[in-house]
Amino acid sequence: MAIEQSHAHGPSEPALRDITIGALLREAAESCPDRLALITGESDPAERRQWTYAELYADALVVARALRERFEPGERIAVWAPNIPEWVLMEFGSALAGTVFVTVNPAYRPEEVAYVLKQSRSAGIFVLPHFRGNPMLESVEKVRGECPELREVIRFDEWEAFMESGRGSEAELPEVSPGDPTMIQYTSGTTGFPKGALLHHRGLVNNGAHTIDRMGVEEGSVWITTMPLFHTGGCVLCVIAAVSKKATQVLVEQFEPGLVLEMIETFGAQAMVGVPTMLIAMLEHPDFARRDLSSVRTMTSGGTTVPEALVARFEKELGVDFTIVFGQTECSPVASMTRPGR
């Protein structure tokens, strides 16, 4: 069932905005409260959850108050999970609470998690018990004694209890400024241990907004999020970017090409970001030829060399505007980007 959308008339270069991540979501909730903001892309349609913009903002405020019951503004909060909707709520809730969001790769092993928690001086961590055979909660408990500043371990499988503490909270949310730090992203670099890149609201909001605008995505489009949220490719170029266009975001927990192709057809998606390996897997999947992908208007890729033949095939077979991004985590992340058609 394709989602009916409203569209603006063509892309334009946006001006720099002096705004926080929380304010960006509030704007979307106030201007289009009933528009679908987030849909979870499970393979079973009966399990798909959804939030309007009004609901997403309301839940993000509950998360923010629940965080304020436990943490002070400026404290670092780690999140260790795949692409689950609670991750998105934490991204916005942390921004509203004035805490600093620390993203953790779901593939990390105990020693890597311990390094991130100690180096970031995280006061709390939100974690799934396990994911794809990785015993994440067990790993946290194993290294907890090595992390002297870690005082809270909150389980995503006990999310409702956490949310209930926010619903009953009278904690005041702080004044947050666009220049305040809001996220620490770990990036490997060329030598040594990963570096923690400290990123602020203004940089993340504008980077996401400018990237999606350069892609030519229209307001109210349907957007498929396949990029991992622990990386700026997911939590900035997908989540923040989609909200800047008040888009409907379909969140895929774990990339599977057949599922992504089904999501495009089911929801009439217009846009997505994918690294070359993802896009090649979609092209090679038997469903590529039989799914109705005519809704797709624009795609972007990056993270490694993007083969010319890959771009040409998507442009020819789907008629999409294909763009390529270049950057690094410290840039929030895009530093340069091609224009559609060039």
pLDDT in tens, 234-254: 999 999 999 999 999 999 999
Q: Are residues 227 and 340 in the same domain?
A: yes
Q: What is the pLDDT of residues 197-224, one digit of tens each?
A: 999 999 999 999 999 999 999 999 999 9
Distance CA 10, CA 79 (A): 37
Shared domain for 166 and 284, answered yes or no, is: no
* Residue 93 lies inside a defined structural domain of this protein: yes
Is the domain of 246 the same as that of 317?
yes
Does residue 305 sit within a domain?
A: yes
242 and 292 inside one domain? yes
Whole-angstrom CA distances from 127 to 113, 132, 324 are 11, 14, 33
Is 228 a domain residue? yes
Which amino acid, one-letter code, is at 107? A
* Residue showing tokens 């509950």: 62
Task: Give me the CATH number covering residue 272.
Answer: 3.40.50.980
Instruction: Assess if residue 41 is contained within a domain.
Output: no
Cβ atoms 176, 95 nearer than 8 A: yes
Domain identity same for 222 and 135? no
Distances (CA, A) of 168 to 27, 99, 299: 25, 20, 43
Q: Retrieve residue 148's tokens.
A: 């002297």
Q: How many CB atoms lie within 10 A of CB 326?
A: 14
Q: How far is CA 185 from the centre of its chain?
A: 12
Contact 258, 288 (CB under 8 A): no
Distance of CA 124 to the CA centre of its chain: 20
For the segment 288-338, what is each residue's pLDDT rounded down to a tens digit?
999 999 999 999 999 899 999 999 999 999 999 999 999 999 999 999 999
Q: Do 326 and 244 have their domain in common?
A: yes
The amino acid occupying position 271 is A
Residue 33 lies in a domain: no
Cα separation, 39 vs 49, in Å, equals 6
Q: What is the pLDDT of residue 194?
A: 85
The range of the structural domain enclosing residue 282 comes to 201-342
**Residue 257 included in any domain:** yes
Could you read off the pLDDT of 105-123 as tens digits, one per residue?
Answer: 999 999 999 999 999 999 9
As for how many domains the chain has, the answer is 2
DSSP structure string for 127-144: E-S-BTTB-HHHHHHHHG
pLDDT score for 330: 94
Q: Which residue from 204, 174, 176, 166 is spatially nearest to 59, judged by alpha carbons?
A: 166
Residues 208 and 333 occupy one common structural domain: yes
Does residue 29 belong to any structural domain of this protein? no
If asked whether residues 166 and 229 sit together in one domain, one would say no
Cα distances (angstroms) measured from residue 277 to each of 286, 303, 329 = 16, 10, 20
Assigned domain for 160 exists: yes
